[in-house]
Amino acid sequence: MRIEKTLSIIKPDIVKKNQIGEIINFLEKKGLKVVGMKMVHLTIQKAKRFYQEHQNRPFFEGMVKFMCSSPVVVMCLEGENAIKLNREIMGATNPHEAKEGTIRKIYGKNIEANAIHGSDSEEAAEQEINFFLKANYSINKIKN
Ligand code: CDP
Ligand code: MG
């Protein structure tokens, strides 16, 4: 078991429904610790950069527009096997295919408005945390 950090983004659908607190509560109850957090309203340019791996996919433009439709909450989460654990807690990309009890199943509306983002690998986690939170400055060390 190893302590990892991962990046999570509470997406505009949740922010618009006033459910930010519920999502944070959900993640904390599953054992993930919030060690960095900020609310940002992404520009189209920044959202395109963040999701550049998908730039040639048909859903890209619509997804980017959706991600910029309200502020989002960006968090660095820490815990044992945090990257995989967070992906499990989130559930499948399409809420209709996500397992019962996952965030996307409970809170997601469709494949675009699917509540939450989570890094999918160690490399992505490191890169995404730096993209938003510049690891050394915006991440706290919290002793239990
Ligand atoms: O977020 P996740 O890593 O589960 O999925 P992804 O394949 O990396 O896709 C990134 C995001 O693009 C998803 O979370 C969806 O919001 C969006 N997407 C979409 O709108 N339509 C698709 N057919 C696939 C993904
Ligand atoms: Mg992904």
From residue 87, give the alpha-carbon distance in Å to each of 5, 62, 90.
12, 23, 5
Q: Which two tokens stand for residue 7?
A: 């990046």
Instruction: Tell me the average pLDDT across 115-143.
Output: 90
* Predicted confidence (pLDDT) per residue in 73-120, tens digit: 999 999 999 999 999 999 999 999 999 999 999 999 999 999 999 999
What is the value of pTM for the model shown?
0.96
**104 C-beta closer than 6 A to ligand 1:** no
- The answer on pLDDT for 30 being more than 90 is yes
List pLDDT tens digits, range 40-52.
999 999 999 999 9
Which residues, other chains included, contact 102 with Cβ-Cβ below 8 Å and sequence gap of 6+? 88, 89, 90, 91, 92
Q: What is the mean pLDDT of residues 111-131?
A: 97
- 3-137: which CATH topology? Alpha-Beta Plaits (3.30.70)
- CA–centroid distance, 63 to ligand 1, in Å, is 8
Question: Domain limits of the chain?
Answer: 3-137
pLDDT score at 135: 65
Q: Provide the pLDDT confidence category of residue 137 given band limits of 50, 70 and 90.
A: low
Among 93, 102, 103, 114, the mutation site with the greatest number of ligand 1 atoms within 8 A of its Cβ is: 93
Closest CA relative to residue 115, chosen from 66, 81, 79, 77? 66
64 lines ligand 1 (CB under 6 A): no
Q: At what angle do helices 20-29 and 82-90 cross, to 10 degrees?
A: 130
Q: 102 is written with which tokens?
A: 């996952």
The best mutation among 49, 63, 103 to test binding of ligand 1, ranked by most ligand atoms within 8 Å of the C-beta, falls on: 63
